[in-house]
């Protein structure tokens, strides 16, 4: 049933233009996805809402947009070159590679009747594809390597960034100097990242190219606990008020000692109940002064901060809330998907409608203007109305097919309001506004439609 829900969403995404398989006309590229017109809009709306909530609405945030290819020394300092890796095993028969930790887990997840006695160690595990013998685990770095310039030698090696955070750390001094910010303040950015994941999958959940929205919040370490709690509270508000998800679908997992990255003194993973299991959605970590200290050591640049009031000189500590944009989009799709019974045009009959109940602010399209038929006199009202609404809203104009089918299509792509122009509109200068969720219809004067919708969207 849960898998079925995922399949339905993937199929809807393709059919309606949210997400297409990447490079499809060439047979695709495994686990790569392209965002179609509606997917692009949804993603943009999530990014804009995130930016407004965490950056624009606050007075303690500074925006940034840094390069994807950085000086490779950045990745030495950050620890990515030495330790951003997964332990892999290879099957000696079929030569497929698997993450060692996933192998142990995979066996425990099998249905009872298929379960072999679970391996206690990787050495006991067999290939999940062919049952062959496996090699000992070997470390595999997840960064994508490339070369700068025309020579492909060791001196020209560079990497596509695996996270946006490093861009914020290496610019801390620049930003502090030009903005004259006092602690605490944050540096935020949204951007693409690249990781050569061994086990991508589950649609857009784990891919090799994805976007992160995150900020590094620089603090004096005194009272870091309170600052951490405040950010946890803001994160909860984000999921409740902006993304409007059912909070029962989230799991707030305190990462215990021994499981955290070595530099983190506290990490909370915010997990979500996906149809394929409870897995990470995003996280928040107290990274101490690890990053700036390392970049100071490796670059030789002084990254200390002097408190203008107390004269105290120290390396700022960092609290980092980090969000995967693609995972947020997946969650927005999962939360929005509803199947419900709705009446048809025939009295007493009903059918199942699929409706994407996105929060209104996130819906890819906000308003659809639908003349009842293709008649010119209706277009003469509908087209100028759509053009006027387009100045303020994301508007679709559609005059093909029956009105019932057009409502279903708009429901399926989550458009909160349909505005229907009919023959009465020519006389009474009113249109019918239909609400996506309640399906209630209201007559509104054409001259008032923009103000009516503005109020509905709370703009």
State how far Cα 372 lies from the chain centre.
37
**d(Cα 156, Cα 349) in Å, to the nearest integer?**
68
To the nearest whole angstrom, how small is the minimum distance from the Cβ of residue 331 to ligand GAP?
10
User: Exactly one of 85, 220, 322, 373 binds ligand GAP (CB under 6 A); which one?
Assistant: 322
Q: What would the two tokens of residue 92 be?
A: 């000696």
Binding to ligand GAP in span 56-115, by CB under 6 A: none
Point out which span in 12-20, 105-113, 210-218, 257-265 binds ligand GAP (CB under 6 A).
Answer: 210-218
Residue of 137, 324, 359, 371 interacting with ligand GAP (CB under 6 A): 324
Smallest distance, ligand GAP to C-beta of residue 165, A: 4
According to the binding rule CB under 6 A, does residue 367 interact with ligand GAP? no
Residues 253-282 that bind ligand GAP (CB under 6 A): 280, 282
Query: Which residue reads 């203007």 in tokens?
Result: 369
Binding-site member from 161, 266, 294, 327 for ligand GAP (CB under 6 A) = 327
User: Can you read off the two tokens belonging to residue 207?
Assistant: 């891919």
Contact call for residue 165 and ligand GAP (CB under 6 A): yes
Give the residue at shortest CB distance from ligand GAP. Answer: 324
- Closest to ligand GAP by CB, 324 or 382: 324
- Candidate list 33, 169, 172, 210; residue touching ligand GAP; CB under 6 A: 210
Kind of pairing between the strands at 277-288 and 19-21: unpaired
Long-range contacts formed by 199-203: CB under 8 A, 24+ apart = 199/98, 199/99, 199/102, 200/30, 200/31, 201/31, 202/6, 202/274, 202/276, 203/6, 203/9, 203/10, 203/19, 203/33, 203/330
Nearer to ligand GAP, 124 or 197 (CB): 197
Q: Is 294 in the site for ligand GAP (CB under 6 A)?
A: no
Q: Which stretch binds ligand GAP (CB under 6 A): 203-211, 387-395, 406-414, 429-437?
A: 203-211
Q: Which is nearer to ligand GAP, 326 or 399 (CB)?
A: 326
- Tokens (6 digits) for 417: 């309001």
* Size of residue set near ligand GAP by CB under 6 A: 17
Is the Cβ–Cβ distance between 53 and 242 less than 8 Å?
Answer: yes
Among 137, 167, 191, 283, binds ligand GAP (CB under 6 A): 283
Residue 399 in the binding site for ligand GAP (CB under 6 A): no
Residue 6: C-alpha distances to residues 33, 108, 180, 266, 333 (Å): 15, 23, 48, 33, 10
- Cβ-proximal residues to 71 (8 Å cutoff; 6+ apart), any chain: none
Tokens (6 digits) for 372:
């009842």
Contacts with 414 (C-beta within 8 Å, 6 or more apart), sequence order: 336, 355, 356, 357, 358, 363, 364, 365, 436
Binding residues (CB under 6 A) for ligand GAP: these are 163, 165, 195, 197, 206-207, 210, 212, 214, 280, 282-283, 320, 322, 324, 326-327
């Amino acid at each position: 049933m849960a898998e079925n829900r995922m399949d339905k969403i993937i199929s809807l995404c393709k059919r309606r233009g949210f997400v297409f398989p990447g490079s499809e006309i060439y047979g695709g590229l495994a686990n790569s996805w392209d965002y179609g017109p509606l997917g692009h809009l949804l993603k943009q709306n999530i990014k804009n809402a995130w930016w407004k909530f965490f950056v624009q609405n606050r007075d303690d945030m500074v925006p940034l947009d840094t390069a994807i290819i950085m000086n490779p020394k950045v990745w030495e300092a950050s620890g990515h070159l030495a330790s951003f890796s997964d332990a892999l095993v290879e099957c000696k028969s079929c030569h497929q590679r698997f993450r060692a930790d996933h192998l142990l887990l995979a066996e425990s997840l099998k249905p009872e009747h298929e379960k072999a006695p679970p391996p206690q160690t990787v050495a006991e595990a067999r290939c999940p594809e062919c049952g062959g013998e496996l090699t000992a685990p070997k470390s595999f770095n997840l960064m994508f390597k490339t070369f700068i310039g025309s020579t492909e030698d060791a001196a020209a090696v560079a990497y596509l960034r695996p996270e946006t955070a490093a861009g914020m750390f290496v610019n801390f001094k620049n930003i502090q100097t030009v903005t004259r910010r006092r602690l605490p303040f944050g540096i935020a950015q949204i951007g693409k990242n690249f990781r050569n994941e061994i086990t991508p999958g589950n649609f857009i959940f784990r891919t090799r190219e994805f976007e992160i929205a995150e900020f590094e919040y620089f603090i004096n370490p005194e009272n870091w606990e309170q600052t951490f709690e405040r950010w946890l509270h803001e994160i909860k508000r984000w999921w409740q008020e902006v993304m409007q998800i059912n909070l029962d679908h989230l799991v707030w997992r305190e990462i215990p000692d021994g499981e955290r990255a070595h530099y983190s003194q506290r990490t909370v993973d915010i997990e979500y109940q996906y149809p394929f299991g409870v897995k990470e959605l995003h996280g928040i970590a107290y990274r101490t002064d690890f990053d700036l200290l390392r970049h100071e050591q490796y670059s030789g640049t002084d990254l200390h901060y002097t408190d203008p009031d107390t004269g105290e000189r120290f390396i700022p500590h960092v609290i980092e809330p980090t969000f995967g944009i693609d995972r947020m989009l997946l969650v927005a799709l999962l939360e929005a998907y509803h199947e419900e019974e709705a009446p048809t045009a025939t009295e007493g009959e009903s059918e199942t409608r699929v409706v994407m109940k996105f929060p209104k602010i996130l819906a890819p399209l906000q308003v659809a203007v639908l003349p009842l038929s293709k008649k010119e006199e209706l277009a003469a009202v509908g087209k100028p109305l759509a053009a006027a609404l387009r100045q303020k809203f994301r508007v679709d104009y559609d005059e093909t097919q029956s009105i019932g089918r057009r409502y279903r299509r708009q429901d399926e792509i989550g458009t909160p309001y349909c505005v229907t122009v009919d023959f009465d509109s020519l006389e009474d200068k009113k249109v019918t506004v239909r609400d996506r969720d309640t399906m209630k219809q209201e007559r509104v004067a054409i001259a008032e439609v923009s103000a009516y919708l503005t109020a509905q969207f709370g703009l």
